[in-house]
Amino acid sequence: MTELFKDKEIFSGEYGIQEDAVNHPSHYASGSIECIDAMEAMIDQGRNTKVNVSGHVYYLWQVIFKYIWRWPFKDKPVEDLRKARFYLDRMIEKVEKESES
C-alpha cells in the first residue's frame, strides 16, 4: 500500500481486522463481489437496451445502485435510501424527457 493512503486504513471488529477504507471499504464489499465490479457488469455486457440510455442516465443508474448496495451496512441506512430515491427521481425525469424527444 502506498504511503499516500496508509492513513486511510482503519481497524475494526472484535479481532482488529484491518480494513482498507480506500480500495476495499467494507460497506462496498459483499462476499467475493465488490460494488464497483457489479456496477461495471451492469453496463458492460454487450446487451441491447430497450431505450436509448445517455451517459448521464448510466451515471444516475450506477449511483442509485451504489446507495442500494450499501444501505444496510451504513450507520444511517435511511439516509442512503433517501439518496437513492433522490437520484431515482432525477433518472425518471431524465428518461421521460429523453423519450419525448
Between CA 38 and CA 86 the distance in angstroms is 21
Does the pTM exceed 0.75? no
Q: Where do the structural domains in the chain lie, given as residue ranges? A: 3-100
pLDDT in tens, the chain (101 residues): 334 444 444 444 444 555 666 665 655 555 678 888 888 888 877 888 888 889 999 999 999 999 999 999 899 999 999 999 999 999 999 999 988 87
Helix (H, G, I), strand (E, B) or coil at 5: helix
